[in-house]
A and B are shown apart, each in its own frame.
Chain A
Amino acid sequence: GAVVSQHPSRVICKSGTSVKIECRSLDFQATTMFWYRQFPKKSLMLMATSNEGSKATYEQGVEKDKFLINHASLTLSTLTVTSAHPEDSSFYICSARGVVEGGRQPQHFGDGTRLSIL
């Protein structure tokens, strides 16, 4: 149980392109989804928190116009990197958690998307 699917697993594209990454919870309803960025040999850096049907909450320093997040249903959230540039190249990981129980539910992670901007 608690499977999260992230797609695509790898993207290589030219500078200026917009890229959409999908995150789906396959066997549970995700009231909250999180988007992270991970640099080589570093831990996960939270970018934003999204709750179904409402606007995402972005962490300090994350450009919300650059990283558009949509959480339109209880099983799907998308991250769109708009007008991507080489400095946006990174490993992006989503996670999902089910019904909030005082913040005690674990997050379940997708397998990440390796984004490379040429």
Chain B
Amino acid sequence: EDQVTQSPEALRLQEGESSSLNCSYTVSGLRGLFWYRQDPGKGPEFLFTLYSAGEEKEKERLKATLTKKESFLHITAPKPEDSATYLCAVTTDSWGKFQFGAGTQVVVTP
């Protein structure tokens, strides 16, 4: 059975304290892995798409990497505005249907 697992469930960081979030997956025929951030009461905001093992994408303080079994979202020197729930999703079919992980809630304190 396909599975997407995110860890940790919650992460509390001091401003400037770098850390990593994990998304491990067991699926057949990965077509893409996607990272989103979601603020309370809002829809998810697209961050990155990763397609193949070894791929890396960067945007400001965020960097996403992909291996054959997992993806990491690295947050470098986070700021309070990086506080959000970070979701990863995988797709295995041609219609792009997502299977989401449960998310990691990140809180960055000044």
| Residues from 23 to 53 in A contacting B, C-beta threshold 8 Å | 32, 34, 42-44, 46, 49, 51
Contact of B49 among A4, A46, A51, A106 (CB under 8 A): A106
Find residues 82-103 in chain B having any chain A CB closer than 8 Å to their own CB.
87, 89, 91-98, 100-103
Residue of A nearest to B31 (CB): A103
Contact of B44 among A44, A46, A51 (CB under 8 A): A44
Chain B at the A interface: SS class: loop
Q: How many A-B residue pairs have CB under 8 A?
A: 71
Known: A103-B94, A104-B31, A112-B41. A44 touches B100 (CB 8 A): yes
Classify chain B: how many residues form its interface, as a range. Answer: 20 to 34
In the bound complex, CA of A92 to CA of B83 (Å): 22
CB closest chain-A residue, reference B92 = A103
Contact with A along B23-51 (1 / 0, CB 8 A): 00000000110101000011111100101
Within the assembled complex, what's the spacing in Å between the Cα atoms of A103 and B27? 15
Binding site for B on A (CB under 8 A): 2, 4, 6, 32, 34, 42-44, 46, 49, 51, 91, 93, 95, 97, 100, 102-112, 114
